[in-house]
Structure 1
Amino acid sequence: MSYQIELLHSLLNDFLQGESALLTTEGDVLAVKGQDPVTYGTLTTAANTASKYLKLEEGDIALLNDPYSGGSVLCDMTFIMAVSEDLLWVTRQSVNKSVRITKSVEEEGLRIPPTPLRQKNQVNEMILAAMQAHPACPPQFVEWIKTQIQTLTVKAKKLHEAIELTGFTITGELIEEYLELSKQAAVQRISERASGEARVDIVLDSGELLRMNMEIHDGKISLDFSGTTAAKTVSLTESATYGACFHALSRFYGFDQFANSGSFSILQITKPTGCWLVGKYPAPTYKGMTCGVAAIKTAMELTLSQIHHKNEKALSSHCPLHFDLQHKEQHALLTLPGGKGARSDQEGEAALLKPFSIEQMERDFPVKIQRVDSRHSAGGKGKHNGGRGIIVKLEVRDEVEAAWLTDLTLHRPRIPKNCSHGDASEMSLERAGEHKLLPVLGQQKFQAGDILTLCSGSGGGFGKE
């Protein structure tokens, strides 16, 4: 790899933080980075959609959150900035995250199509005022947006300074060479492993079927979703589906540091028109972006395990438990990730809960946190046990309301004989001495004395005990 290519790769990795991407105005994707699987398909779609409808000059910024324009869930705001005449920077930030269970994307919150936010160094105050007037607009939205604009401006300036400091120009020839080398790296990583094909069916509790046929040959991967059914209550956009698939493959084979147009070319996806992986407006997308993505990750894990027997592993619990607690004007979202599946030579990794202040939650809400711990798992046993999930137990002191969403793939798919399933995520209620499991998704009020127990899923076990 030449010095110029190494310099470009280093510059891209240093600049892109969080959920972000850098593209040329011609549509070439130079790099995508992020932890959210849908990032790898949606950010590039957002840039292309904004470029199609808006003429972005250097320094201009556009905003969107519409899933059908390249957004994710509506609480994730996607910013598209022209950082130069030739480069578009796309980045995503969350505001006021919450659980949304609706029948239409319009009911999930304020939906923003590609919208000019700043032009010729002037913020569009009229559009911001219209957004703030929407009943579903998050509080202090305009102030938050203006802070993001300032942050984007500072970071864009640093990118210019970094390019000037290196003393080299990002030419079309350099980009072409970089993308070709990225493609070759991806092909090589795939070719070093076994080729083959496999098919997996995943049934969601809501009734949708996900059917995935994977074929790996000559360093290329094709996914055929023929047989996947239409949406009932779960729907995912086409770009999010692509992102979830690429995310799983790039991490499995180890070329996630080269996520761009070059490595994208190794993946070919066929999806039948009308299936739930190709959602159409106005279908809601929150469940698709969470539980639907988890189903794709499970299918990818199973098919890759079938083809690459030496790397066989038990299933991980891919869908976190989302619990949205509300009281008067206060609201807080708890996200409990699941445990990882065990391998032939090691235990599964236990889930780690993102730190939060118990004291702050008890000040903001009439609840008492009784327990935060690793879950005692009955499932996921084997020679190597699956990683344990998380348990959070709380007592309600006064009336509160909550919305929640757990795993929608509780119909267990077929797994290798030497693997076992972990425990599913679940939520239960103790009231007046009676104990009952709550549905996998719901919204209701709870009264003083109620005890809620939240359990994220555990990973599967590997081998006979």
Structure 2
Amino acid sequence: MNYQIELLHSLLNDFLVGESSLMTLDGDVLAVRGQMPVTYGTLTTAATTAAKYLKLQEGDIALLNDPYSGGSLLSEMTFVMAVSEDLLWVTRRALDTKVTLVKSVEEEGLRIPPMPLRQKNQVNEMFLTAMQAHPACPPNFVEWLKEQVQDLSLRAQKLIEAIEFTGFTITGELIEDYLGLCKQAATQKISESASGEARVDVVLDSGELLRLNLEIHDGKISVDFSGTSAAKTVSLTESATYGTCFHAISRHYGFTDLANSGSFSILQITKPSGCWLVGKYPAPIYKGMTCGVAALQSAVELALAQIHHKQETSLSSHCALHFDLRSGDKHYLLRLPGGEAAQADRDGSCATLNPFSLEQLERDFPVKVLRVDQRQSIGGKGKFNGGRGLILKLQMREEAEATWLTDLTLHRPRLLKNCSHGDPCEVLVEHGDAAKHLPVLGQQKFAKQDVLTLCSGSGGGYGRSEQ
């Protein structure tokens, strides 16, 4: 790459933190960065939708969380800002998330289509007042939004200053060259590996069938979901489906840091209308954005492993265990991630819990924490073991309620002969002398002295054990 292209790539990496993207008003995606798979499809859709309907001018900021306009979960706010005459910055920031098992996206919370949050350097107080009056509006939402507007403005100004400091202009020719090189790099990485095709079926516990046909030829990848069933209770948006597929593929080949219009062009997806991967309003989205995404990740990874026999890997536990504890008007979402898969040359990484205060949890809720540790895995064994999941054990000090959601692919897909499945997520309740496993998702009250054991999934193992 020449100096200007290297400078542009470095500038994008420095500026884009968290779930974010930078693109032109003409629709060219310069870069997407983020940890969440759906980010790679939804952010650009959000920007395109907002720019189409709101005609953003420099300094204007649009807000949305509507999944059918490029959002993800309703608790995650997407901001689209015109940082200059021809550049759009899209970033996503999360609020307090709640587990919702309902029949409509409108029941999941406050749904916000693209709306003008700031215009001509003025925050749109009329829209803020209207949102605040909505019964599903999160607490302190307006104050939080105003804080985000200030932060976005400061960071956008730093981007403009960084561009001016470098002394170069982001021209159409520079963008074209940069996107072309990214496409060439992605194509080369794919071409260096094997070509071929594979088919994978994944059945969700909720009844949906995911049928994936993946073909690799001449450095390009086509994914065909013909045969995938309609939604029953799990639904995913079209942009989230694309983002998840691209994220899984780019991670496999190692070009996630080149995610833009150039590398996007190597992937073609065919989705039959009416299938659960092309959800339509008002279908609920929470299960799709969690369990549905995890199933799709697993299917893509398994198809790639079938084609690239020298790069075989087992399956990671992509779906975290979500346990939403409620007492009175308070709630706390416990999120236990799963372990990673073993590979042909190493063990998988064990899951780690994001830091949180056990003392605060016990103060705010009628629970006593008995154990927090890595679970002792039964599955995922082999020459190289899958990473272990987590175990959290709680005892109820008073009656409380919880809503939970775990992996919806307990009907495990067929693996390659060298691989084994890890342990699934589990929720166990002990009431007196009786103990029972709870279903993969549900909501119920728990009595005083009940003991709950929450286990996230472990990664799959690789190879035959030598013991």
Residue 85 of structure 1 aligns to which amino acid in structure 2? E
Q: Deviations over 1:139-172 (max 9, x none)?
A: 0000000000000000001001101100110000
Q: Which residue of 2 aligns with 1:312?
A: 312
Show the 5 A alignment for 1:135-146: 135-146=135-146
Residue 44 of structure 2 aligns to which amino acid in structure 1? T
* Aligned-partner Cα distance in 1 for 2:108–2:387: 33
Q: Which residue of 1 aligns with 2:244?
A: 244
Q: Which residue of 1 aligns with 2:273?
A: 273
Q: Which residue of 1 aligns with 2:10?
A: 10
| Matched position secondary structure for 1:47 | helix
The alpha-carbon deviation at position 314 of structure 1 amounts to 1.2
Show the 5 A alignment for 1:214-363: 214-363=214-363
* Aligned-partner Cα distance in 2 for 1:418–1:218: 28
The alpha-carbon deviation at position 354 of structure 1 amounts to 0.8
Q: Which residue of 2 aligns with 1:425?
A: 425
Matched, 1:30 2:48: no
* Aligned-partner Cα distance in 2 for 1:164–1:341: 45
Q: Which moved more, 1:435-444 or 1:62-71?
A: 435-444
| Matched position secondary structure for 1:395 | strand
Residue 232 of structure 1 aligns to which amino acid in structure 2? K
* Aligned-partner Cα distance in 1 for 2:343–2:122: 55
Matched, 1:52 2:28: no
Q: Which residue of 2 aligns with 1:41?
A: 41
Residue 24 of structure 1 aligns to which amino acid in structure 2? T
Q: Which residue of 2 aligns with 1:88?
A: 88
Q: Which residue of 2 aligns with 1:170?
A: 170
> So what's the TM-score if we normalise by structure 1?
0.99
| Matched position secondary structure for 2:130 | helix
The alpha-carbon deviation at position 401 of structure 1 amounts to 1.4
Question: RMSD value over aligned CA atoms?
Answer: 0.7
Q: Which residue of 2 aligns with 1:446?
A: 446
Runs of 4+ in 1 over 2 A off after TM superposition: none
The alpha-carbon deviation at position 329 of structure 1 amounts to 2.3
Structure 2 unpaired stretches of 5+: none
Q: Number of paired residues?
A: 465
Q: Which residue of 1 aligns with 2:401?
A: 401
| Matched position secondary structure for 1:23 | strand
Show the 5 A alignment for 1:385-396: 385-396=385-396
The alpha-carbon deviation at position 433 of structure 1 amounts to 1.4
Percent identity at matched positions? 74
Q: Deviations over 1:11-34 (max 9, x none)?
A: 011000100000100000000000
* Aligned-partner Cα distance in 2 for 1:84–1:401: 49
| Matched position secondary structure for 2:391 | strand
The alpha-carbon deviation at position 74 of structure 1 amounts to 0.2
* Aligned-partner Cα distance in 1 for 2:193–2:349: 24
| Matched position secondary structure for 2:403 | strand
Residue 210 of structure 1 aligns to which amino acid in structure 2? L
| Matched position secondary structure for 2:31 | strand
* Aligned-partner Cα distance in 2 for 1:345–1:174: 41
Q: Which residue of 2 aligns with 1:129?
A: 129
Q: Which residue of 1 aligns with 2:97?
A: 97
* Aligned-partner Cα distance in 2 for 1:398–1:219: 59
Q: Which moved more, 1:375-384 or 1:68-77?
A: 375-384
> So what's the TM-score if we normalise by structure 2?
0.99
Structure 1 unpaired stretches of 5+: none
Q: Which moved more, 1:172-181 or 1:415-424?
A: 415-424
The alpha-carbon deviation at position 399 of structure 1 amounts to 1.6
The alpha-carbon deviation at position 242 of structure 1 amounts to 0.1
Residue 341 of structure 1 aligns to which amino acid in structure 2? A
| Matched position secondary structure for 2:176 | helix
Residue 154 of structure 1 aligns to which amino acid in structure 2? L
Residue 251 of structure 1 aligns to which amino acid in structure 2? R
